[in-house]
Amino acid sequence: MSDLNEESSKEHVEDSLKQVVDLIARQKLVESLVHSQDMPRHELVEALVHKQNLAELQKKLDELHPADVAYVLEALPLDDRLLVWDLVKAERDGDILIEVSDAVRESLIATMDNRELVAAAASLDTDEIADLAPDLPKDVVQELMKSLDEQKRAQVESSLSYDEDSVGALMDYDFVTIRADVTIETALRYLRILGELPPHTDKLFVVDKDKRLTGVLPLKRLLVHDPEAHIAAIMVDDPVVFHPSDSASDAAQAFERYDLVTAPILDPQNRLVGRLTVDVVLDYIRAEAQEDMLSMAGLREEEDLFATVWRAAKNRWLWLAVNLCTALIASRVVGAFEGSIEKLAALAALMPIVAGMGGNSGNQTSTLVVRGLALGLINKENARRLLGKELGISLLNGAVWGSVMGIVAYLLYQNVALGGVMAAAMLLNLLVAALAGYFAPTIIARLGRDPAFGSAVLTTFITDSMGFFIFLGLATVVLL
């Protein structure tokens, strides 16, 4: 059922995008035709047609969820994006700005004045304001903080004081607390008085008079137990809890491991200061996954799909420069054996196979290690065993596929020694690939960087250079 709902949701948002694109295209076509016509009161007719087309487009946008509008904005070229953004109702600006990607958000913010930005941000919850604030101009942030009440301002300042990868930066301050000494009937009466629960509320937080957490009460227990029973008798007194300084990545893993919807956040004195919710955790996981994908591709920051050529090119320069340097080094390794290649042309045809197989094998190991490091599965106790396993896999693969390529090389060139060199080189380079794939992300992680950043390029560089060196070196010694 969930797969069907997900597929239906995807079809809905894609259909909405198509409708918006069609409306924009039709608007441009109709206005172009009207503009080219020679008629009385031409300017008035043009204005009426323009207004009618925009009204139809605005009606469609009003029907969409803010997340769907964000999807549409990200998929449109800049001119069309700004046209759509101008049609969004002002009271929805904040909700949409939170949903769009950082790169697109920057392009939208650039079109808004301070008054509009303050109004958009002020309509958001505390945690959402803290998420949006880093992207706003400093004077807008100052004006925004002045417009908030004292409690909300203190909460925003608290969220902004934490590292962006900490639980504190993801903290939500909207939660419901009860005392352990009241009955279920009293708790239910209190909830009816509230009238509405904060989003994603699956449990109430049980605190004492000093706001120290004593337990949590899942709502399902509240509904199925005797109304005269006390909260203390049915609450969970050992819940999963977090602290503001905890790693957001560790918290995300805990949410997945324990199937959490919400969890309390405590200060060092065990006082309840906030909560962590599953929607924020999912957003964090998605953002981290996107960042890892960009890092592996060599992009320094999230790139707007329709960014200017100059800006997009600058974003890719760093990795292209690194690749150029590694390619030059690999080329010099080949250059050192130019004499051998001239004497036996078959070497030039076969050496990319050795390097390519090593690169693929090394990246398989590297991907596995990056995942293990990200999930906290690799530690001092099992690291050596993991390395031994990867070396064993490479030894087996090297023996099997090295033998296959040795036979192929013999059949192609009728040279037994060349076949043996090919087999040995592939075996040795796959062992090198296992070492490179293991140590590249590990060393990067120990340097305090994201292990996904640069591990693939570093692994490929090592396997290419060593593959050329091993194959050409063996060929020079054995064949020439």
pLDDT tens readout for residues 375-402: 778 888 899 999 999 999 999 999 999 9
In the beta sheet, which residues pair with residue 271? Answer: 212
- pLDDT confidence of residue 300: 62
The CATH architecture assigned to 13-165 reads: Alpha Horseshoe (1.25)
User: What is the crossing angle of helices 416-446 and 380-413, to 10°?
Assistant: 150
Whether the predicted model's global pTM rises above the 0.95 cut: no
- pLDDT confidence of residue 94: 93
Where the chain has pLDDT below 50, the residues are: 1-4
Collapsed DSSP state (helix, strand, coil) of residue 384: helix
Give the angle subtended at the CA of 366 by the CAs of 362 and 370, to the nearest 5°.
175
- C-alpha to C-alpha distance for 326 and 151, rounded to whole angstroms: 54
Instruction: Show me where the domains of the chain are located.
Output: 13-165, 177-296, 309-479
The CATH architecture assigned to 309-479 reads: Orthogonal Bundle (1.10)
Domain 177-296, CATH = 3.10.580.10
- C-alpha to C-alpha distance for 458 and 13, rounded to whole angstroms: 39
- C-alpha to C-alpha distance for 480 and 438, rounded to whole angstroms: 34
The one-letter code for the residue type at 85 is W
pLDDT tens readout for residues 200-220: 999 999 999 999 999 999 999
- pLDDT confidence of residue 213: 96
